[in-house]
Structure 1
Amino acid sequence: MKTWAARILIRILVLVLILGLLIGRGLWLLHTVRIQLRQTPQGTPSPGPRPGRGSVELSDGTFTFRLDYAAFWAEFPQLQRYRCRELIPGDGVCIGPPGPPLLLLALKSHPASSARRATARRTWARPRVLGGYRVQPIFLVGVSPDPRDMALLGRESEEFGDVVLWDFAESHPNLSLKERCFLRWVGAHCGQADFIFKGDDDVFVNPPALVAYLGQTPNAPHIIYGNIQRHSVVMRGGKYRVSSTLFPQDTYPDFPSGGGFIMPRASVPALAAASEHIPIFPLDDVYFGFLVLAAGLRYRHDERFQVFGMKDELCLYGEAMLVHGVSLDRVEEVWKGLYEERRCNVTGSLPS
């Protein structure tokens, strides 16, 4: 009886120690983040638009869009003044010996979305050589106030090395900061990426179809590929509300749906340069549309970027390049059916 009780006591002590280490690690990371936030010159405007500096006008041949700097500084000053500062730089993601061209899967994620990232890593977001391309995922993340989320993210980064963490807080308007900061990050850390798939982590991505698509597509440096939204109506209420003071026009410029799109390496410098003078719009996909317009780039629309869902049939997933809004269980089922059980004839295939 004493031996049994001793074993129980030891197990309890071990569990308490492990729990203490987890909490301590999370608090340490959160404390580090807070220190970095205090040290970051948040009150100093970044290079680019300053308050009260007039406006910028962009025309797509049908509409002219006027962005007034003063209005953006009045409603979203935190977006305009933010300086991109990395807490986890992800600087080793694209490093490797010379080899196949690089397709970077850049995925916006939240620290709390560890289950989504785990599912993606088990299925479509795995580093591999595929169809003549080296496919490499990277998760783009902001800060969460929950130390448990930050602790899990820190362990993921150590294990997989596929995380970039910036010191801004996660929020819907701050998703636009991921667009701007990612363009800077690519220039500094991943200039060798031949193509970049930019999307969300709540999607099913089909890398074999992506690389097959790239193999059939001329390498045009000025074209963005995706599901292009044409002159969407501005919403004045709800989650995507934009005030008439900030943006008085009734329609937006064309933009690729944020669920996922492809941009070639040669487009990044022009997009990054545009981000230095276009005020940061609080909707990330619209903001990217303004950058594309300012950079003088063009679009190629393709319905196989299934950003609004589709009929839930296995073989249709094999034809798509991405499907938005797929549950985690369904992602596992689809991946297994397409590439392990091979129940459909798909455009591309995984290495045997």
Structure 2
Amino acid sequence: MKRGSARMLMLMLMIGGALIWLLHTVRIKVRQTPQGTPCPGPGSLELPDGTFTFRLDPAAFRAEFPQLQSYRCRELIPGDGVCTGPPGPPLLLLAVKSHPASSARRATARRTWARPGVLGGYRVRAVFLVGVSPEPRHMALLGRESGLYGDVVLWDIAESHHNLSLKERCFLRWVGARCGQADFIFKGDDDEFVNPPALVPYLRQTPDASHVIHGNIQRHAVVFRGGKYRVSSALFPQDTYPDFPAGGGFLLPRASVPALAAASERIPVFPLDDVYLGFLALAAGLRYRHDARFRVYGMKDELCLYGEAFVVHGVSLGRAEEVWRGLYTERRCNGMGPLPS
């Protein structure tokens, strides 16, 4: 072989080896990327949280959940009297997701933890956030409740699991328009025990309470591809979510509402309401404070543990009344007295 041909062959082998090494290195880097995802399409949104960059493609959301993206909030019962009244103590608003059929749950809440009053220098007021049911009897009962108590907001949203995210979005608009004076907002469900007499001291004693979202914070929760909380890879190809407060119960300070509402105008509506709030909070640049006393998961059913908790999820109607009576009427736990005023 001629010397020139040998040099050429050697050069080609070196180049080939370098290419193989480069491809192998790139492949390793792709494998090691925590959230290896396809390149975002035109118009995709990128939300970095310091660990991952989350990508949302509005076109994918319009294709899979068009009704969530196109709905415009329309109030059938506006709840415009919930936050009215003369100036007074700071307002803690209990915003409770409910179903038209859940009149017994709302009645129990109104007799116990959701009754209006003044606790520890805070005015406490509840509002029930409801969509529509195809059952006329349920809607008639809801209308009577609204007339009696004035604590219902009804949107023309069909009640469904995915439409809970629309309640989240519409509630942010409602607060901005009709309850901007609420200093803190507790968001929860009607199938739980809420403990305002414990929430109020927490707010008074936490130095940065008005600057963060409070709750049981889920850190980079895994995306489920099956079951009730299923999210398809086409909609969201990444494996984990941004941090979010578990939807069973969390606290929003007043200062967070405008930023969350503004984010809801540009972030596509995610079909899981607690994850949706996590995306909104990330887009708004808001911070969290975790506290395990937001008992949104299982807890031993002992009376005094309820007294320490801010919220306990999944409590039966009878048990919620027993707990309230035991803590604040019969005072069967040390340190539990009459409701503070």
TM-score normalised by structure 2 residue count? 0.86
Instruction: Show CA shifts across 1:112-164 (max 9, x none).
Output: 11111011011110000011000000000000000011011000000000000
CA distance in 2, matches of 1:350, 1:141: 29
Indicate which of 212, 215, 223 corresponds to 2:201: 212
Structure 1 residue aligned with 2:54: 65
Contact 1:319 1:347 in 2 (8 A): no
Indicate which of 296, 305, 310 corresponds to 2:294: 305
Indicate which of 262, 265, 270 corresponds to 1:276: 265
Indicate which of 113, 122, 134 corresponds to 1:124: 113
CA distance in 1, matches of 2:209, 2:313: 26
Instruction: Show CA shifts across 1:313-349 (max 9, x none).
Output: 1001000000001111100110110000011134775
SS at match of 1:95: coil
Structure 1 residue aligned with 2:275: 286
Structure 1 residue aligned with 2:162: 173
Extract unaligned runs of 5+ from structure 1. Answer: 1-51
1:166 Cα shift? 0.2
Contact 1:208 1:348 in 2 (8 A): no
1:54 Cα shift? 1.4
Instruction: Show CA shifts across 1:256-282 (max 9, x none).
Output: 000000010011000000000000000
SS at match of 1:300: strand
Amino acid in structure 2 at the alignment position of 1:341: E
Structure 2 residue aligned with 1:86: 75
SS at match of 1:249: coil
Percent sequence identity is 84
Structure 2 residue aligned with 1:337: 326
Structure 1 residue aligned with 2:141: 152
1:218 Cα shift? 1.9
Contact 2:97 2:190 in 1 (8 A): yes
SS at match of 2:300: coil
TM-score normalised by structure 1 residue count? 0.84
Contact 1:111 1:153 in 2 (8 A): yes
SS at match of 2:175: helix
Aligned: 1:142 with 2:101:
no
1:290 Cα shift? 0.2
Instruction: Show CA shifts across 1:19-68 (max 9, x none).
Output: xxxxxxxxxxxxxxxxxxxxxxxxxxxxxxxxx96111101111111000
Change (3 A) 1:296 1:66: same
Contact 2:157 2:163 in 1 (8 A): yes
Contact 2:328 2:337 in 1 (8 A): no
Note the 1:1-352 alignment, pairs <5 A: 54-346=43-335, 349-351=338-340
CA distance in 2, matches of 1:336, 1:226: 25
SS at match of 1:226: strand
Structure 1 residue aligned with 2:24: none
CA distance in 1, matches of 2:42, 2:86: 46
CA distance in 2, matches of 1:311, 1:96: 40
Contact 1:339 1:350 in 2 (8 A): yes
CA distance in 2, matches of 1:163, 1:219: 31
CA distance in 1, matches of 2:340, 2:212: 29
Contact 1:110 1:141 in 2 (8 A): yes
CA distance in 2, matches of 1:349, 1:70: 54
- Supply the RMSD in Å over aligned alpha carbons: 1.2
Contact 2:117 2:125 in 1 (8 A): yes
SS at match of 2:255: helix
CA distance in 2, matches of 1:340, 1:101: 25
Structure 2 residue aligned with 1:9: none
Counting matched residue pairs gives 301
CA distance in 2, matches of 1:348, 1:232: 39
